[in-house]
A and B are shown apart, each in its own frame.
Chain A
Amino acid sequence: MSDHSHSHPTPGLYVLIVLALFVGTCLTWGIAFIDLGIWNPVVALTIAVVKALLVILFFMHVYYSNRLTKLTVAAGFFWLLIMISMSLSDYMTRTFLPQ
């Protein structure tokens, strides 16, 4: 197993990441004014997830971290997804059956 805990990203990579984040922000802002029907929230949140991943992996160095840190971060977001998906699957399906 190769341990990346001693390698670090370079300023050049940070510049690339921040430019990608700026592009993502402009993109999500522009798309908000285009009518995509129900896809507006989906596209906006997809861009947000990609931006968050770039911040977590590179600015927060998770890509270069040891396995314990990676597992910890993944467990946290997994739990967050459980909370959101299970809560919404309840509230969104309450009207499926006649009252």
Chain B
Amino acid sequence: MPTEKVRRFPLSTSQTTTTEHPALAHQFDSMEQQQDASTFGMWVFLLTEIMMFGGLFTAYLIYRIKYYPAFVAGSTSISVSWGFANTLVLIGSSFTMAMAVWAAQKGKRNAQVWFLIGTMVLGAAFLGVKAKEYYDKFDECHIPGHVIGKGFNTWGGCSATDKSLGNIAEEIRDPKHGNPNIPEVSADQTAKQTEIFFSFYFAMTGLHAFHMLIGLGLLAWLTLRAKSGEFGPRYYTPVELGGLYWHFVDIVWIFLFPLLYLISRHQHGV
């Protein structure tokens, strides 16, 4: 039996003089083992997150196939430019986050704090743009249901939009213009279907924005700990795991952007 690997409690001073780190929990043999276990645990948590967002993605794709004209109409009514700008902002924040982890590994305390603050600034900018996009949808009466604002309105009459969602959807259904394979449904049904698109839009981007808010809270906490000089080459696991979470949120947006904003710009059959 390899006795040198056995840790007894209480620890004798001879064992603690060389490798003991204040952040090492008593159930682990070494900092490396502790970090490996933490990383594994974080990834298992992220897998549950992947399946949660994955369920929404799958449902969105199924409904997009089923209610294609309405989903195209809904998708073309959201602003590609703002979505594009926000994608760049979020990728930038992932970069600063990766740099914060690097600075923590190298024991650069100031750089670490500034990279974390930079990540928070970019994250807040993303949420600001998202709020602007949500306000536009509120203004155009594209919030599903009748609780918020003046109620969902497909046919215009809420604000001065030149083309209503209903008209766009009708146009796509028109065999001369679009896909003849799309089955006939009544105009009222089409209106209901665009409401389903916006239910997905707000559920998916809302859940994503909620994750960003949690991420901002985590980053603020990490910044305070980094400022106190807690992290260095031997112990930076919290920054590393905070980074994993932040990059995961970035990946969700990398898929939300094409699915919600981009792939319906041209109206073709499924």
Please tell me which one of the listed residues B54, B91, B257 contacts residue A18 in the complex, with CB atoms under 8 A apart. B91
Contacts of A55 in B (CB 8 A): 94, 247, 250-251, 254
Interface SS majority for chain B? helix
- The segment from B55-63, B143-151, B201-209 found at the interface with A is B55-63
Q: Are B254 and A48 in contact (CB under 8 A)?
A: yes
Are A59 and B97 within 8 A (Cβ)? yes
- Which label, helix, strand, loop or mixed, suits the secondary structure of the A interface? helix
A4 at the interface (CB under 8 A from B): no
Chain A residues with CB under 8 A of B243: 59-60
Distance in Å from the Cβ of B16 to the closest Cβ of chain A? 23
Q: Are B268 and A38 in contact (CB under 8 A)?
A: yes
Determine which of B32, B61, B257, B258 lies in contact with A88 in the assembled complex, contact meaning CB atoms within 8 Å.
Answer: B61
Would you call B210 an interface residue if the criterion is a C-beta within 8 Å of the partner chain's C-beta atoms? no
Contact with A along B111-128 (1 / 0, CB 8 A): 000000000000000000
| CB of B266 closer than 8 Å to a CB of A | yes
Closest to B181 in A: A95
Nearest B-chain residue to A21, judged by Cβ: B91
Knowing A48-B258, A73-B43, say if A25 contacts B91 (CB, 8 Å). yes
Bound CA span A28–B84, Å: 9
Q: With both chains docked as a complex, state the minimum distance between the C-beta of B21 and any C-beta of chain A, in angstroms.
A: 16
Closest residue to B266 on the A side, CB-wise? A35
Residue of A nearest to B66 (CB): A91
Chain A CB within 8 A of B99 CB: yes
Q: Which residues of B contact A84 (CB under 8 A)?
A: 54, 57-58, 61
Chain A residue numbers with a CB within 8 Å of B95 are 14-15, 17-18, 59
CA distance A68 to B57 in the complex (A): 27
The interface residues of chain A lying within 8 Å CB-to-CB of B66 are: 91
Known contacts: A14-B99, A25-B91, A33-B265. The answer to whether A66 contacts B36 by CB under 8 A is yes
Is A69 in contact with B91, judged by CB distance below 8 angstroms? no
Report if A22-B91 is in contact (Cβ < 8 Å); known contacts: A52-B255, A69-B43.
Answer: yes
Contact with A along B226-270 (1 / 0, CB 8 A): 000000000000001001100110110011011101110110111
Interface residue range, chain A: 35 or more
**How far is B65's CA from A18's CA once the two chains are assembled, in angstroms?**
33
Q: Which residue, A55, A58, A73, A92, has most C-beta atoms of chain B within 10 A?
A: A55
> A68-99 toward B: CB 8 Å interface, digit per residue (1/0)?
11001101110110011001100110000000
> CA separation between A36 and B151, bound complex, in Å?
36
Closest CB pairs A-B (n = 7) = A76-B47, A44-B258, A18-B95, A32-B262, A41-B263, A80-B54, A59-B98
Which residues of B approach A to under 8 Å, CB–CB? Answer: 32, 36, 39-40, 43-44, 46-47, 50-51, 54-55, 57-58, 61-62, 65-66, 80, 84, 87-88, 91-92, 94-95, 97-99, 102, 105, 240, 243-244, 247-248, 250-251, 254-255, 257-259, 261-263, 265-266, 268-270
Q: Show 18 A/B contacts (Cβ-Cβ < 8 Å), sorted by A.
A: A6-B32, A11-B102, A14-B98, A18-B94, A25-B88, A28-B257, A33-B265, A38-B268, A38-B269, A52-B254, A56-B251, A59-B98, A60-B243, A69-B43, A72-B44, A77-B50, A79-B47, A84-B61
